[in-house]
Amino acid sequence: MVYATFLILYFLTGTIIVIKLLVYGMRPTKTLAWMLAIFTIPVGGMLFYLLLGRNRRKNKLFKLKRTDDISTYLKKAESHYDAVTEEEYQEHQKLIRLIIRNCGFAPSAGNKLKLLKNGNATFQAIFESLQKATDFIHLQYYIFEDGELAEGLFELFAQKIKEGVQIRILYDGIGSKSLSKKYIKKLRKAGVEIYSFLPVRFGKFLSSINYRNHRKIIVIDNKIAFTGGINISDKYVTGDPTLGIWHDMHLQLEGPVVHSLQAIFVMDWYLVSNKENILSPLYFTTYKKMGTMTAQTVHSGPDEDFSATQQLYFSLINEAKDYIYIANPYIIPGEAILEALKVAALSGVEVRLLLSDISDSTIVRWCVRSYFEGLMEAGVKIYLFSDGFLHSKTIVVDDTVSSVGTTNLDIRSFEQNYEVNVIIYDDTFAIELKNDFLSDCKQSVQLNYATFVNRSWIEKLKEGMAKVFSPIL
């Protein structure tokens, strides 16, 4: 009797899930795969779906209350932009409009942006800027780890709190799982407000564990900001025994574009803290132009209507006429980006991908390599960087437009993570990023198609098995 009741409940639950799969419009192959898993793997198939399979774009992960204060705040952010005209950036109008429709942030002129390569340069600039803070510091990271950097930040924060500076910190519940309770308690005792984004809790385990906040943002007095691929971890400075030094790219920003990064932090902060005091217009600063660069902020998350970062990469690839250079450690592109890269290369555009030869995950490494043969067959040039672990997430196109941010070229970043990138419409910046990319290519090994295609069947088997897990890596 008990067994029969269980079977009835199981099949009723499975039927409800299948109806949701059909209603919320997953791809046919994905829908079929989940249906087979649910009805052929007892209990496990259903749990696996609840953990990884739900369509958050249709069934929102969060429903952010659009209060009058939030609406006022976002309008205030936009009012600080030094808007550009369509005529100024005619060749990128489709991209600009796409980002505005997806994210609401228009491009702004009058910015000063500085490229920061690797940990030493990045943290030197960050600490120098933090020392100058007079009003507030907002800091958000995917990985925040105990170590020398964390201790240095604590000492600085403790001093700034005494000077009357407000400090708010967000860290991801999974990415920063090693951050000690002792350190967090010490920060709070000093006066720092600190929250975890989607902490792992028993009641919400299935609904939240697969959706992470991968953003890295610092905003200081709304005058200077930082974003990019570098986390708060000593491995960016001293390295680790297995992978060596982590090589990465970060961005220092001054000017109106800072307000959009502040707005992203504020939305995330309000989501986890439910405190509306941060929405005050007092957190904005009016000032003159800081430079000559035009920039636009892109953000995306699993509960938004479209994957803005995926559409950004797709548009940049399709815009390219001469070349497109991409540095990224995790290239698991999905069908749309994969086809766009192949079409660009077959059309005569020089497409180069720069990846790390080593990886922090064996299964991810094999999955990434499973795409190499098809890409090289289409004419894509692939370079493997071996001097440490390359963690940069950059893209540059035709000496005119570039992107630096947190988004990996994989399904997880596109569909499951909260991400942020900055698009820079500036020739000088694009050329600087291109030259740095080409310099790294010279230190890397270019894969040979004829040699790679003859790799052992064991390697091909590993790649094929790893590729099955591409949607969740």
Measured CA to CA in angstroms, residue 467 lies from 32, 365, 377, 411 at distances of 18, 10, 18, 12
Q: 3-state class of 410 per DSSP?
A: strand
Specify the residue for token string 């500076």.
165
Q: According to the model, what pLDDT value does residue 3 have?
A: 64
Establish whether domains 68-96+106-297 and 308-472 are of one fold. yes
Domain boundaries, the chain: 2-52, 68-96+106-297, 308-472
Q: Which residue has the tokens 């080593």?
A: 358
Which pLDDT score, from 0 to 100, does residue 205 have? 47
- Rounded Cα distance, 423 and 397, in Å: 11
* pLDDT score recorded for residue 65: 47
Q: What residues does 389 pair with on adjacent strands?
A: 246
Q: Residue 44: its pLDDT value, please?
A: 61
Q: Which residues contact 82 (CB under 8 A, 6 or more apart)?
A: 108, 109, 110, 255, 256, 289
- Ordered per-residue pLDDT tens for the chain, 473 residues: 666 676 677 677 767 766 766 666 556 656 665 666 666 666 666 666 665 555 555 555 555 444 566 666 666 666 666 667 656 677 888 999 999 888 888 898 999 999 999 999 999 999 999 999 999 999 999 999 999 999 999 999 999 999 999 999 999 999 999 999 999 999 999 999 999 998 776 555 445 567 889 999 999 999 999 999 999 999 999 988 888 899 999 999 999 999 999 999 998 998 888 887 787 777 777 666 789 999 999 999 887 888 999 999 999 999 999 999 999 999 999 889 999 999 999 999 999 999 999 888 888 899 999 999 999 999 999 999 988 999 999 999 999 999 999 999 998 899 889 999 999 999 999 999 999 999 999 999 999 999 999 999 999 898 888 887 766 55
Query: What is the model's pTM?
Result: 0.88
Q: What local confidence, expressed as pLDDT, does residue 208 receive?
A: 58
Q: Which two tokens stand for residue 393?
A: 């997430």
Enzyme catalytic residues: 214, 216, 221, 391, 393, 398
Q: What is the dihedral of CA 276, 282, 286, 290, to 10 degrees?
A: -60
Give dist(CA 265, CA 256) in Å, integer: 15
Which fold, 308-472? Endonuclease; Chain A (3.30.870)
The CATH code of domain 68-96+106-297 reads 3.30.870.10
- The pLDDT value given to residue 5: 72
- Name residue 187's amino acid: L
What is the rounded distance in angstroms from the CA atom of residue 179 to the CA atom of residue 146? Answer: 6
Give the pLDDT of residue 158. Answer: 97
Which residues sit opposite 117 in a β-bridge? Answer: 249
